[in-house]
Amino acid sequence: MVRPHVYEDGGQMKSEIVGYDMDEEGDRVALLACGHTRHVRHDPPFVYREWVTSEEGRRKYLGVELDCVKCENDEAREHDRGV
C-alpha cells in the first residue's frame, strides 16, 4: 500500500479523507487514505465542524488532508479502503 502522506512545514504527516464511518457512540469518523481513522466531531463550543452534520458537507470534504498522528507514531492501519 502506498502511504500518501505529505509533510507540511511543521513536519506533520497528512492523509486525505476517503470516506466516513460512525463510532459506537454515533460520532463521525473520517477514514483516511493511509488506513487510519480520525474523529471529525461537531461539538460546539469546543469544536466547530458543522460540515460533518450533512451528507453534502461530508462529500465536500472528501480529499481534504488531515493531520494523522497515528502515522507519526507508526501505528497499524485501522481500515482498508483499497486506496
Task: Determine, yes or no, domain membership for 51.
Answer: yes
pLDDT digits (tens, 9 = 90+) for 16-65: 999 999 999 999 999 999 999 999 988 878 888 999 999 999 999 999 99
Say how many domains are in the chain. Answer: 1
Q: What is the pTM of this model?
A: 0.78
* Containing structural domain, residue 35: 14-72
Task: Determine, yes or no, domain membership for 8.
Answer: no
Which of these, 32, 40, 41, lies nearest to 75 by C-alpha position?
32
- SS3 sequence, 9-40? CCCCEEEEEEEEEECCCCCEEEEECCCCEEEC
CA–CA gap between residue 59 and residue 40 (Å, rounded): 13
CA–CA gap between residue 64 and residue 23 (Å, rounded): 20
